[in-house]
């Protein structure tokens, strides 16, 4: 099926040239943590260094594994850069240091890692791209659950949503090395403490690292590696021009025709692709006879291609001179190993005239496996109508051919005395060529037959009869007929090729112009207007753009401007908005709508909805224009994404400037008030020494104490926002920490009953004692303020299977429903119950300090009344016995 010689693909050569200008990427792919990816990467890097290659370690996470750390001996390690983040001193890969060092090979661990806020790139894989663009080879490690396209599949059986992912495009041109370990061996490593510490390993074995999960992840890693190898092989074959299927992996092609039963072919291909876990493509070959298809045939093609797309296939409409030529070209391009094609119930007369596509493909199959699926039998009346009428064109084309032959006959009769009868037959080639060029093959063949008969009737003896007396004239007649038939055939084929080429060139030029216009658009309205105008012009439809405005999906721009949608159309548009899938006429959802809606969807989600509708009420898009529509939708979605990102950047700049001014203002207020506050405190103490029995002294001291706490909160908030906090982490006894806070607030707690339920046996937690004191101080002060004048306050500590929880509960009016999350925002004051008053800084400080320490904090209404604020110390913060010592 594939030709012995094959021209190298220009696109493949261009990809290869780009790869050669960049560094090489090698990904050590594993099914799960602990299979040995980092160890394998370091081992290979160390071996290359011993061989004299320039290798450096850019970043490696050994996780305390001694055998992995041993491999770093003798390796050059680029120092990491230190980053202050919420009071922590964290380290990240120093990409600038690696670029300055410019090694031949850099070892970069944890490819999917998320960088700290403020880094040059948000993701480590983007750092790696910069190293590759600088010509540095990179070795890196990756678990299969971090691949973006597999994220939903992994979450479906592990019940864990992986947040750090890499796009599938990073595998383009990368070398994949699979680091495999059977599930039983990995489980043994977990139990031996070689992956996690023992108490974490026991939890992992009961959740993510179950044997079933590990087996599924291992299969996914094997398949992902095999898919990458297969794609790389195809790229190399396209670049070299080497012919052949190279069926190391299965690749399935299903041929869609206008005949009934194409949907059955699509479902068969889907089942086969699932069974073989192979990529598959659905293709419709557009030939000259496609223009004569009726509405039912076009609708069947569109429905079959849409079904294939929803089932995960790549769809394509390929123009070609014939179905056989188009399928052969597509098989060669994708190097298909299996073809699924339907065999229609054609009459023997049709196959005698046109041949059998199935038989021709089977005859030249080579190493291609062909699955022939019989199509449903058509009624005899329908079959006769299709056989005799389809593709013959309009009667006017035959009438024009007759007219041209008549004109040429008259001209030949006038010219015969000067040119002789022998040259007249050449004149008849002119109308044959014209008819074939203007109207195609069949009108050209008809013109060639009429021309031969006219030449016989008017110019061969005996004239005005169809009898030929001279044997030489019989030969002339046959030659004229043959030459006319060949010329009309060639002219018809050239006309088909020219039509396909012109249409492709027009579409490419239109798409290029469309992209340029979108690039010049600077706002949503202009972008929507350009999209509507170009879609309406290129596809010959009405178009409309809908976007979210005021929480509702509303029309933004329409072409023509008076185009409107009905309530049914609005429902289809809203379904496309929420689901991210096409809806409306010609789809599988809400087909009663007159419009067909396509979501403009990117990685940011659905940004707008494009609606199209035909003027005559038919399906708005034909199958041969489906690929063009998909390209237009993709470009429009990218344009909307660009505008959305630009708006976010502008908003971010405004927020950064606002936060900078706020921080400066708060810092100024906090420091400027300390001096007068110190003076007020000294004055109160002086009055107390002179008038020790004054009744106003306790109130004055309490208010000064409250003002001092407010200023402390203000200063700490500024330090938190500016990243100026430094942590001094040590094991802390929660019982002692709570008791110290209660002692500091003893004046405010007078009249309140404190229900102290913090058992002495709670484990120690590793935190900064000073920041924890601030957290508890603000929580208890909040409970005093909002728990009523003499309401009891409960402080409850408890141990859970994987954390330690500490709850401060008051008995006031509780939180306003829905404010449980926003109550921690800066300057947020409760509006429900009695949650009012105060500065709104205390709980913001609690949230900020808790995040800095790695503590989660939540607010809720207690079932028995009042508000409850809970601090949760995860297992990572629980101190071990060695920590306590």
Alpha carbon of 755 to those of 781, 782, 796, 846: distances in Å?
A: 15, 16, 8, 21
Element (H, E) at 333: helix 323-334
Residue pair 376/291 in contact (Cβ under 8 Å)? The answer is no
The C-alpha R_g of the chain, in whole angstroms, comes to 39
Angstrom distance (rounded) from CA 600 to CA 663: 39
Q: Are 493 and 441 in contact (CB under 8 A)?
A: yes
Give pLDDT, residue 827.
Answer: 53
Is-cis flag, bond preceding 702, omega within 30?
no
Q: If residue 271 lies in a helix (H) or strand (E), which one and from where to where?
A: helix 262-276
Half-sphere exposure of residue 808: CA atoms within 13 angstroms, side-chain side: 23
The closest of 541, 550, 549, 546 to 573, measured between CA atoms, is 546
Angstrom distance (rounded) from CA 307 to CA 303: 6
Beta carbons within 8 Å of 548's beta carbon, 6+ residues apart: 554, 577
**How many residues comprise the chain?**
885
Residue 212 has which token pair?
Answer: 């079933």
Mean pLDDT of the chain: 77
Residues 761, 65: Cα–Cα separation, whole Å:
32
pLDDT in tens, 203-260: 444 456 677 777 878 888 887 777 776 666 665 665 555 655 555 567 889 988 888 8
Asked if the model's pLDDT at residue 138 lies above 90, the reply is yes
- At residue 480, the pLDDT reads 63
Instruction: Give the three-class secondary structure for 773.
Output: helix
Check residues 41 and 62 and name the one with the higher pLDDT. 41
Question: What was the pLDDT predicted at 356?
Answer: 72
Q: CA 230 to CA 207: how far, in whole Å?
A: 33
Give CA–CA dist 202/463, Å, rounded.
Answer: 105
DSSP 169: G
What are the beta bridge partners of residue 374? 343
The backbone torsions φ and ψ at residue 828, rounded to the nearest 5 degrees and listed phi first, read: -80, 125
Q: Which CATH architecture has domain 727-884?
A: 2-Layer Sandwich (3.30)
pLDDT at 639: 85
Structural contact between residues 842 and 823, judged by C-beta atoms closer than 8 angstroms: no
Kindly tell me if the per-residue pLDDT of 651 is higher than 50.
yes
Give the mean pLDDT of 7-12: 56
Instruction: State which of 128-142, 318-332, 685-699 shows the largest mean pLDDT.
Output: 128-142
Range name among 102-106, 266-270, 613-617, 801-805 with the lowest pLDDT average: 613-617
The Cα–Cα gap between 369 and 361 comes to: 10
Cα 247 to Cα 250, 326, 331: the distances in Å are 6, 21, 12
89: part of which helix (H) or strand (E)? strand 88-92
Q: How far is CA 669 from the centre of its chain?
A: 47
Sheet with 76-77: list strands edge to edge: 76-77, 55-59, 105-108, 137-143, 25-30, 175-179
- Please give the pLDDT value at position 137: 93
At the top level of CATH, which class does the domain 521-719 belong to? Answer: alpha beta
Place of tokens 């074939």: 436
CB 124 within 8 Å of CB 93: yes
Q: What is the dihedral of CA 394, 395, 397, 399, to 10 degrees?
A: -170
Nearest to 772, CA basis, from 825, 735, 718: 735
Whether the CB-CB separation of 588 and 310 falls below 8 Å is answered with yes
Residue 413 has a CB neighbour count (10 Å cut-off) of 12
pLDDT per position as a tens digit, 422-475: 677 778 778 877 777 777 667 777 877 788 788 778 887 777 777 766 666 666
Cα separation, 357 vs 322, whole angstroms: 9
Query: Quick check: 376 pLDDT over 80?
Result: no
In the chain, the percentage of residues whose pLDDT exceeds 70 is 74
| Token reading at 757 | 């339920």
Given a cut of 80, whether residue 532 has pLDDT beyond it is: yes
The average pLDDT across 462-490 equals 68
Residue 503: what pLDDT? 67
| Domain 10-240 matches domain 521-719 at the CATH topology level | no
The pLDDT assigned to 58 comes to 92
CA 687 to CA 695: how far, in whole Å?
A: 11
Tell me how many degrees the CA angle 758-759-760 measures, rounded to the nearest 5: 115
First-to-last CA distance in the chain? 76
In sequence order, what are the residues at sequence separation of 6 or more whose Cβ sits closer than 8 angstroms to the Cβ of residue 447? 401, 404, 405, 431, 432, 435, 436, 484, 488
Phi, psi of 884 (to 5 degrees): -65, -35
Cα 129 from Cα 135, distance rounded (Å): 10
Q: pTM score, two decimals?
A: 0.45
Residue 48 is predicted with a pLDDT of 92
CATH no. for 10-240: 3.40.50.300
Candidates 206, 180, 209, 202; CA nearest to 31 is 180
CA distance 148 to 155: 11
Question: For residue 712, what are the β-bridge partners?
Answer: none
Question: How far from the centroid of its chain's Cα atoms is residue 684's Cα?
Answer: 66
Kindly indicate whether the domain formed by 252-389 is annotated with CATH number 3.40.50.300. no
Question: What are the domain boundaries of the chain?
Answer: 10-240, 252-389, 395-498, 521-719, 727-884
Q: How confident is the model at residue 61 (pLDDT cuts 50, 70, 90)?
A: confident
DSSP strands (E only) in 692-826: 729-732, 754-757, 765-768, 793-800, 803-809
Matching residue, tokens 């809203």: 574
How confident is the model at residue 450, as a pLDDT?
83
| Tens of pLDDT, residues 24-45 | 999 999 888 888 888 899 999 9
Question: Has residue 71 got a pLDDT over 80?
Answer: yes
Residues 6+ apart with CB under 8 A from 113: 123, 124, 164
Listed in sequence order, the DSSP H helices in 51-175 are 66-70, 95-101, 124-133, 151-158
Can you give the pLDDT at residue 845? Answer: 78
Tens digits of per-residue pLDDT, 311-342?
A: 777 777 777 777 888 888 888 777 788 898 88
Instruction: Identify the CA nearest to 228 among candidates 186, 178, 274.
Output: 178
């Amino acid at each position: 099926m594939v030709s012995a010689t094959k021209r190298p693909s220009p696109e493949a050569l261009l990809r290869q040239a780009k790869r050669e200008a960049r560094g090489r990427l090698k990904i050590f792919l594993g099914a799960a943590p602990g299979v040995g990816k980092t160890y394998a990467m370091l081992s290979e890097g160390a071996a290359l260094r011993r061989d004299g290659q320039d290798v450096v370690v850019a970043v490696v996470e050994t996780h305390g594994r001694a055998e992995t750390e041993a491999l770093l001996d003798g390796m050059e390690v680029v120092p990491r850069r230190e980053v202050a983040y919420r009071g922590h001193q964290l380290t990240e890969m120093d990409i600038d240091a690696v670029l300055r060092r410019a090694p031949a090979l850099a070892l970069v661990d944890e490819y999917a890692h998320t960088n700290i806020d403020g880094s040059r790139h948000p993701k480590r894989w983007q750092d790696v791209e910069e190293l590759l663009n600088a010509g540095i080879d990179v070795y890196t490690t990756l678990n299969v659950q971090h691949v973006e396209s597999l994220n939903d599949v992994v979450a479906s059986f592990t019940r864990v949503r992986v947040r750090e992912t890499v796009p599938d495009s990073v595998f383009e041109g990368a070398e994949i090395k699979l680091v495999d370990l059977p599930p039983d061996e990995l489980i043994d490593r977990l139990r031996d403490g070689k992956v996690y510490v023992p108490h974490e390993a026991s939890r992992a074995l009961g959740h993510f690292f179950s044997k079933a999960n590990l087996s599924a992840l291992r299969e996914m890693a094997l398949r992902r590696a095999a898919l990458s190898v297969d794609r790389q092989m195809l790229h190399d074959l396209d670049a070299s021009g080497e012919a052949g299927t190279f069926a190391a992996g299965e690749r399935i092609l299903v041929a869609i025709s206008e005949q009934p039963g194409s949907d059955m072919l699509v479902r068969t291909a889907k089942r086969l692709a699932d069974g073989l876990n192979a990529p598959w493509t659905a293709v419709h070959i557009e030939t000259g006879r496609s223009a004569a298809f009726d509405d039912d045939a076009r609708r069947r093609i569109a429905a079959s291609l849409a079904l294939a797309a929803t089932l995960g296939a790549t769809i394509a409409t390929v123009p070609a001179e014939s179905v056989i030529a188009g399928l052969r070209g597509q098989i060669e391009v994708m190097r298909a190993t299996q073809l699924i094609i339907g065999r229609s119930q054609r009459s023997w007369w049709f196959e005698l005239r046109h041949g059998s596509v199935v038989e021709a493909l089977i005859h030249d199959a080579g190493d291609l496996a062909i699955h022939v699926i019989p199509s449903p039998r058509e009624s005899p009346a329908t079959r006769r109508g299709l056989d005799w009428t389809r593709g013959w064109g309009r009667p006017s084309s035959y009438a024009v051919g007759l007219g041209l032959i008549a004109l040429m006959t008259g001209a030949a009769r006038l010219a015969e005395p000067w040119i002789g009868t022998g040259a007249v037959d050449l004149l008849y080639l002119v109308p044959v060529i014209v008819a074939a060029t203007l109207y195609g093959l069949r009108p050209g063949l008809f013109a060639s037959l009429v021309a031969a008969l006219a030449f016989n009737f008017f110019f061969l003896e005996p004239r005005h009869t169809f009898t030929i007396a001279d044997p030489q004239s019989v030969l002339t007649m046959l030659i004229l007929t043959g030459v006319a038939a060949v010329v009309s055939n060639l002219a018809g084929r050239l006309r088909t090729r020219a039509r396909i080429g012109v249409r492709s060139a027009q579409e490419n030029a239109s798409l290029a112009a469309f992209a340029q216009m979108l690039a010049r658009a600077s706002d949503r309205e202009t972008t929507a207007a350009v999209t509507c105008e170009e879609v309406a012009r290129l596809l010959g439809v009405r178009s409309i753009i809908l976007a979210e405005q005021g929480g509702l999906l509303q029309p933004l721009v329409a072409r023509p401007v008076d185009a409107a949608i009905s309530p049914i159309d609005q429902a289809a548009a809203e379904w496309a908005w929420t689901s991210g899938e096409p809806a409306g006429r010609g789809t599988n959802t809400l087909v009663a709508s007159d419009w067909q809606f396509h979501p403009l969807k990117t990685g940011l989600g659905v940004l707008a909805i494009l609606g199209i509708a035909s003027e005559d009420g038919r399906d708005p898009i034909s199958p041969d224009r489906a690929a063009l529509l998909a390209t237009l939708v993709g470009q429009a979605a990218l344009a909307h994404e660009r505008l959305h990102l630009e708006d976010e950047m502008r908003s971010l700049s405004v927020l950064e400037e606002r936060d900078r001014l706020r921080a400066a203002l708060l810092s100024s207020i906090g420091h400027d008030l300390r001096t007068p506050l110190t003076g007020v405190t000294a004055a109160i103490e002086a009055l107390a020494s002179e008038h020790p029995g004054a009744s106003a002294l306790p109130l004055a001291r309490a208010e000064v104490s409250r003002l001092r706490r407010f200023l402390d909160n203000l200063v700490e908030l500024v330090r938190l926002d500016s990243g100026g906090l430094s942590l001094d982490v040590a094991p802390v006894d929660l019982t002692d920490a709570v008791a110290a806070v209660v002692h500091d607030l003893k004046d405010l707690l007078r009249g309140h009953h404190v229900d102290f339920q913090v058992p002495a046996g709670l484990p120690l937690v590793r935190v900064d004692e000073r920041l924890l004191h601030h957290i508890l101080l603000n929580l208890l002060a909040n409970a005093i303020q909002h728990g009523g004048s003499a309401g009891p306050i409960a402080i409850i500590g408890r141990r859970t299977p994987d954390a330690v929880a500490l709850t401060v509960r008051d008995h006031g009016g509780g939180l306003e429903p829905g404010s449980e999350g926003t109550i921690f925002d800066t300057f947020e004051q409760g509006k429900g119950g009695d949650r009012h008053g105060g500065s709104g800084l205390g709980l913001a400080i609690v949230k900020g300090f808790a995040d800095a320490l790695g503590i989660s904090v939540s607010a809720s209404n207690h079932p028995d009344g009042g508000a409850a604020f809970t601090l949760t110390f995860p297992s990572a913060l629980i101190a071990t016995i060695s920590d306590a010592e």
